[in-house]
Structure 1
Amino acid sequence: MSQNQDSLEQDLEPASSPQDPKNADNGQVQANIDTLPSIEEQLRQTELLAAEHHDAWLRAKAETENVRRRAQEDISKAAKFAIEKFANELLVVKDSLEQTLAVEGASLEAIREGADLTLKNLAKAFEKSGLQDINPLGEKFDPHKHQAISAVPSDQPANTVVQVFQKGYALEGRVLRPALVAVAQSA
């Protein structure tokens, strides 16, 4: 029976031992599995990274909204106070008119001098603000700057401005009001 027992014990032993070369790969895989982070750890790290990116995105979105809001406020203020420079220049003109009219018993000459000074102040205010006169007497008619209200016989070339009824004005090259003119008729 002892032979049968030995044979039975051999049948119960594992086919290969840890020193067996076939089993070496199995040990290596087990070692690799032990050193890799667990799936739960990987998920936790991924969730932390996602939360960090979401926070950065929210901050960038908030900053963009703040920049947009500030830009709208700046545009609103620019539109609201765009005339401020011109208004300050007109205050000098108003002061000049008030001083002229405040003189009791002023002669016609004094009133004329006051009006002349006021006109000079107004011309300075226009110049500083980029407002130019359009006074096209003797120039060729330009429908972008002039409005012809009549054509008159003249010895000047056809379509030449021969009379200005009302000056026009341009702001930084853009026509605010065209000049009202009469042009020479073609003969």
Structure 2
Amino acid sequence: MNDDTTKIEPTLDGAPAPVDISPEEREAAAAANEADLGGAMAELEELRSKNIELTEQYLRAQAEVQNIRRRTDEEMSKARKFAIESFAESLLPVTDSLEAGLAHKDATPEQIREGAEATLRQLKSALERNKVLEIAPAAGARFDPHQHQAISMVPAPDQEANTVVTVLQKGYSIADRILRPALVTVAAPQ
């Protein structure tokens, strides 16, 4: 057998037995290992810096989310606190009119009535500006349980069944939501 060849014999555990290799081969293997190690170290450093960069981006994003959440909570709190502000402002002239009417001691009944009617118009105008609308169905209108509350059924020979006969109390809605249904009497089936 030639001395240049190396024979590898397996051990009992399946791992190769130590091999005798030449010093040149040992140097080449060490250089290759060193190059591999250098590449692995460079890759490790690159991954570490990328990890630091991603961690910083994550922390900045988390801080931004917290800031947005805090600002949103503050805005919601302010919106709830001051939501009624414009409504209250529109009612101030009504209050002024009522106080002026009460301050006028020598008013005639006609003047009192005119003042009350003017104040009622102001109040209705203020409600309408704030999207508070009357629900006052006309006689003969179809009964709508979503907007009306039937107090009683009455015989009405000249009306179709389940239609409004009279409105006992107007209802009100705000932005398509019922604040109070209209209280009505309904025509009974015949």
- For the aligned pair, the TM-score class normalised by the smaller chain equals 0.7 to 0.9
DSSP 3-state at the match of 1:162? strand
Q: Which amino acid is the alignment partner of residue 123 of structure 1?
A: K
From the CA coordinates, give the structure whose radius of gyration is larger: 1
> What's the CA shift string for 1:21-80, capped at 9, x where partnerless?
xx8xx49x9489569846555434432322221111111101011101111111121122
Question: Of 137, 151, 162, which residue of structure 1 is paired with 2:165?
Answer: 162
Q: Please say which of residues 33-42 and 141-150 is displaced more in the overlay.
A: 33-42
Cross-structure match for 1:99 = 100
* Structure 2 residue 175 is the aligned partner of structure 1 residue 181: no
Q: Please say which of residues 33-42 and 82-91 is displaced more in the overlay.
A: 33-42
Give distance in 2, aligned partners of 1:76 and 1:151. 46
Question: Of 136, 141, 144, which residue of structure 2 is paired with 1:142?
Answer: 144
Cross-structure match for 2:47 = 46
- How many residues get paired? 166
Give distance in 2, aligned partners of 1:65 and 1:132. 40
- Output aligned runs, 1:1-187, within 5 Å: 26=28, 30=31, 37=38, 39-138=40-139, 139-154=141-156, 155-187=158-190
Q: Which amino acid is the alignment partner of residue 129 of structure 2?
A: K
Q: Are the structure 2 counterparts of residues 31 and 159 from structure 1 closer, same or farther at C-alpha, using a change threshold of 3 Å?
A: closer
Q: Please say which of residues 36-45 and 99-108 is displaced more in the overlay.
A: 36-45
DSSP 3-state at the match of 2:133? strand
Give distance in 2, aligned partners of 1:33 and 1:55. 33
Q: Please say which of residues 48-57 and 142-151 is displaced more in the overlay.
A: 48-57
Q: Please say which of residues 173-182 and 73-82 is displaced more in the overlay.
A: 73-82
Give distance in 1, aligned partners of 2:154 and 2:42. 95
Give distance in 1, aligned partners of 2:36 and 2:161. 98
- Hey, which bits of structure 1, 4+ residues long, moved more than 3 A? 29-45
Q: Which amino acid is the alignment partner of residue 152 of structure 2?
A: S
Q: Please say which of residues 45-54 and 114-123 is displaced more in the overlay.
A: 45-54
Q: Mind listing any 5+ residue stretches in structure 2 that lack a counterpart?
A: 1-21
Give distance in 2, aligned partners of 1:61 and 1:111. 64
TM (norm. structure 1) is 0.78
Cross-structure match for 1:5 = none
Q: Which amino acid is the alignment partner of residue 96 of structure 1?
A: S
> What's the CA shift string for 1:83-118, capped at 9, x where partnerless?
111111011111111111111211111111111111
DSSP 3-state at the match of 2:160? coil
Identity of aligned residues (%): 49
